[in-house]
Amino acid sequence: MFQERKQAFKAPPSAVRDPSASQDVRRTRALEEQKRRRAERIDSSRQLDFFADLTLGPSDDEEDDAGNAQAGPEVVREGISQFVSLLPPPIADAPPSSGPSLPQASPSESAQPASPEVSMQTQAPRKKKRRGKGRAPAPTADVLRGNNQATSSRGSKRHVKANKWADKCMYAELLEMKDGFDASGDFRDGIPDDIETGWVAVTPIPVGKRCLAVTHQTSGIAGVVPNTILRSRVLGKPLMKPFPSILPPQTVLDCILDENWRENGILHILDVITWKAQDLADCETPFRFWWRDTRLSELPPLPPPPNAAPPEQHSATYQFPHPTTFSPVPYHTNTTLTHLLSTLIPLTRADRQIPIVIPVPANTQNRTGEDEREGEDMDLDNTNAPPLVRLQTMQATIRSDGLLLYVSQATYEPGTSPLSSWVPLRAYQTHEERIQQEAIGVESASGPESPLSMFERLIRRRLAGASSGGGPEVEMDA
C-alpha cells in the first residue's frame, strides 16, 4: 500500500486517474457526502416523523371564530389514540388443549423442589460415559501427519476477525501537483482554489509512527495506574504495554509517536476523536484543534518515570519506558498565499524545539551532592533515606516531515480521505530506484524535486498571477 502511494505520487495524475475522478472532484464529493450524513443524523435524532400528525384537538382560536359556546367541557375527539398502532401487539393466549384439563398447582406447590427420586431419574441420562478399557488405539504417525495437514488447511481458511481499532485514523492523500495544462486544456496546478479561505494548515508534522492513543476507565490514582495504550494505524495492534498517563479516561487521540521517544518521551497529538466519552469526530476541523490545545493545556505535568535503560547504563543515560509528554502539533488557520510563503513553508523546513524534563544522571548527581556536602558539617539522623532525584529541563529537537492541509468544514472520518492533503518535505523514492541509484554510483546527484519545493513554486506562481491581475504565469520552453 505504501509503495502504491509513492508510485501514484510520482506518476502524472492523468495516468493514474481519469479527469472526471480528479482530486478536486473527489474532495467535493466527499464533503457533500459528509454534509448529507450529518443532516440525516440530526433529523433522525430529532424524530420529527413521530410528531408530524400529532394534534390535541381544535385550538382556542378556532372555537372563538365558530362561536361554539358549550356549557360543559368539550370532549376531545382526537388525541394520541392514533399512536396505538405503534405499540407492540399483545401476547396471544395459548390455545385450549383438547385433552382433559389438569388442575393447576398452587404457587406454594410449584415452588417446592422436586423429589430426589425424580431428580435422579432426570439427571441420570446426562452423565458422561467413562472411557476405560475400551479406548481407541493411539494414532500412528501417518494419521497424525494427515490430521496436522487438515488442521493447517482449516486454519488457513479460518477468517480472522478484524480489530475494531484497525484503520481508524484519518489518513491524508498526497496532494496532486503538476505543471502545465490538463486534458481539457485548463491550467490546473493541483493547489485547491479555496486554499486561502477553506483550509487549515498543520505544520511542522514530526517524523514518527502514526498511531491511536486509547484510554480506559481504571480504579486508581491518575498517572499511577496504567490506563493508556497505543495502537497501530493499519492493524490496530498494541505498540507497547499499557502505561499510566495524565489523559482522562475514555479518550481517543490521533497521535504520532516520535522517532526518538525513548530519549525524549514525546507523543505528538495530531487530532482528537473522543474526549471523556464525548464524540468530537462530527465537529469541524478548527473546533477540534482548538479543543485539543485547550484540554491538553489543562492537564497537570507528571514527574518522569524510572529509568528504562539497561542497569549498566543507568549512571550515564536515561531512557523513557513510555511517553510522558503530550505535545500538540501546531495548527494555523491563516492559509493565505503570503502567509504560506513567509511563515508556514519556512516553518515546515525548520526543526522544532520542545522542552522536556528528565532526571539528572546518577554520576553527575553524585558529584554535585559531594561538592555540596564538603561545605556542610551536619549529621543526618536517617542515613537510609533514598536519595533525592534532581530534575533538569532540556530542549528536544524534533525533525520535520512535511505539511498537512485539512478542509475547514470537514469532519473526522476513518481511512484515507481526500479532505486532508499531505505535502511531504522529502521526495519519496522506491526501493528499486534506490538500488538503481546506488548501482550507478550517483549518491551525490540531486534526486527528484521535493514536494514541498514544488508546492512553494506553485504558490509563488499563483501569487504572481494574482498580483499581476491576469492568469497564472506559465514557463514556456524555448
| Rounded Cα–Cα distance for residues 82 and 54 (Å) | 9
What is the DSSP-derived secondary structure letter of residue 238?
Answer: B
Give the pLDDT mean for 1-19: 47
Contact between 176 and 424 under an 8 Å Cβ cutoff? The reply is no
| Rounded Cα–Cα distance for residues 429 and 55 (Å) | 69
Q: Is the pLDDT of residue 383 over 70?
A: no
Query: Sign of the C-alpha dihedral, residues 364, 367, 371, 376?
Result: positive
Q: What pLDDT is stored for residue 108 in this prediction?
A: 46
Q: Which of 396, 394, 324, 391 is nearest to 364 (CA)?
A: 391
Share of the chain above pLDDT 70, in %: 59
Give the pLDDT mean for 215-220: 83
> Average pLDDT over the chain, rounded to whole?
75
Query: And the C-alpha cell for 362?
Result: 546518577
Q: Which of 305, 325, 307 is nearest to 316 (CA)?
A: 307
User: Of all helices (H) and strands (E), which one includes residue 123?
Assistant: helix 116-123
Highest mean pLDDT among 33-37, 67-71, 208-212: 208-212
Q: Mind giving me the DSSP string for 127-193?
A: SPPP--TTPPPPP-HHHHHHHHHHHHHHHHHSPPPPPTTTT-SEEEEEP---SSB-TTS-B--SS-T
Query: And the C-alpha cell for 406?
Result: 485539512
If pLDDT is split at 50, 70 and 90, which confidence band does 107 have? very low
| Rounded Cα–Cα distance for residues 146 and 328 (Å) | 57
Query: And the C-alpha cell for 238?
Result: 498494541
Contacting residues for 7 by C-beta, under 8 A, at least 6 apart = 430
Residue 377 or residue 280, greater confidence: 280
Q: How, if at all, do strands 352-359 and 391-398 pair?
A: antiparallel
- How far CA 356 is from CA of 96, 289, 321, 327, 471, in Å, comes to 81, 22, 15, 10, 49
Q: Is the pLDDT of residue 147 over 60?
A: no
Question: Hey, which residues does 331 pair with through a beta bridge?
Answer: 202
Q: What pLDDT is stored for residue 273 in this prediction?
A: 96
HSE toward the beta carbon, residue 34, CA cutoff 13 A: 21
- How far CA 103 is from CA of 100, 109, 112, 247, in Å, comes to 10, 12, 17, 65
| Rounded Cα–Cα distance for residues 409 and 352 (Å) | 28
| Rounded Cα–Cα distance for residues 176 and 12 (Å) | 9
Q: What pLDDT is stored for residue 318 in this prediction?
A: 87
| Longest CA–CA separation in the chain, Å | 109
Query: And the C-alpha cell for 94?
Result: 395459548
Q: What pLDDT is stored for residue 376 in this prediction?
A: 47
98: left (phi over 0), alpha (psi -120 to 50) or beta: alpha
| Rounded Cα–Cα distance for residues 357 and 415 (Å) | 35
Q: Is the pLDDT of residue 288 over 90?
A: yes
What is the DSSP-derived secondary structure letter of residue 20?
Answer: G
Convert the pLDDT of each residue in 348-367 to its tens digit.
Answer: 999 999 999 888 765 555 55
Q: Which of 418, 413, 417 is nearest to 38 (CA)?
A: 413
Q: How, if at all, do strands 199-206 and 400-407 pair?
A: antiparallel
Q: Is the pLDDT of residue 377 over 80?
A: no
| Rounded Cα–Cα distance for residues 29 and 410 (Å) | 12
- How far CA 247 is from CA of 183, 300, 330, 412, in Å, comes to 51, 10, 19, 20
User: Which of 70-74, 126-130, 368-372, 406-410 is predicted least confidently?
Assistant: 368-372
Convert the pLDDT of each residue in 265-274 to its tens digit.
Answer: 999 999 999 9
Convert the pLDDT of each residue in 322-337 to its tens digit.
Answer: 999 999 999 999 999 9
Q: What pLDDT is stored for residue 402 in this prediction?
A: 94
Q: Is the pLDDT of residue 222 over 90?
A: no
Contact between 245 and 228 under an 8 Å Cβ cutoff? The reply is yes
Give the pLDDT mean for 126-141: 55
User: Which of 220-229, 243-252, 255-264, 297-306 is predicted least confidently?
Assistant: 220-229
Give the pLDDT mean for 361-389: 53
Give the pLDDT mean for 221-242: 89
Report, in angstroms and rounded to the nearest whole number, the Rg of the chain calculated over CA atoms. Answer: 35
User: Of all helices (H) and strands (E), which one includes residue 440?
Assistant: helix 431-440
Q: What pLDDT is stored for residue 262 in this prediction?
A: 92
If pLDDT is split at 50, 70 and 90, which confidence band does 112 have? very low
Peptide bond between residue 204 and the one before it cis (omega within 30 degrees of 0) = yes
If pLDDT is split at 50, 70 and 90, which confidence band does 116 have? very low
Q: What pLDDT is stored for residue 444 in this prediction?
A: 45
If pLDDT is split at 50, 70 and 90, which confidence band does 459 have? very high
What are the backbone dihedrals phi and psi of residue 268, each rounded to the nearest 5 degrees, phi first? -85, 125
Q: What pLDDT is stored for residue 375 in this prediction?
A: 45
Q: Is the pLDDT of residue 125 over 50?
A: yes
Residue 116 or residue 131, greater confidence: 131
User: Which of 184-188, 314-318, 369-373, 429-433 is predicted least confidently?
Assistant: 369-373
Q: What pLDDT is stored for residue 40 in this prediction?
A: 86
CB atoms within 10 A of CB 332: 17
Q: What pLDDT is stored for residue 329 in this prediction?
A: 96
Question: Hey, which residues does 394 pair with through a beta bridge?
Answer: 356
Query: And the C-alpha cell for 268?
Result: 505528538
Convert the pLDDT of each residue in 417-429 to its tens digit.
Answer: 999 999 999 887 6
Q: Is the pLDDT of residue 279 over 90?
A: yes
Give the pLDDT mean for 285-302: 94
**CA 437 and chain centroid, separation:** 37
Query: Sign of the C-alpha dihedral, residues 349, 350, 351, 352?
Result: negative
**CA 291 and chain centroid, separation:** 15
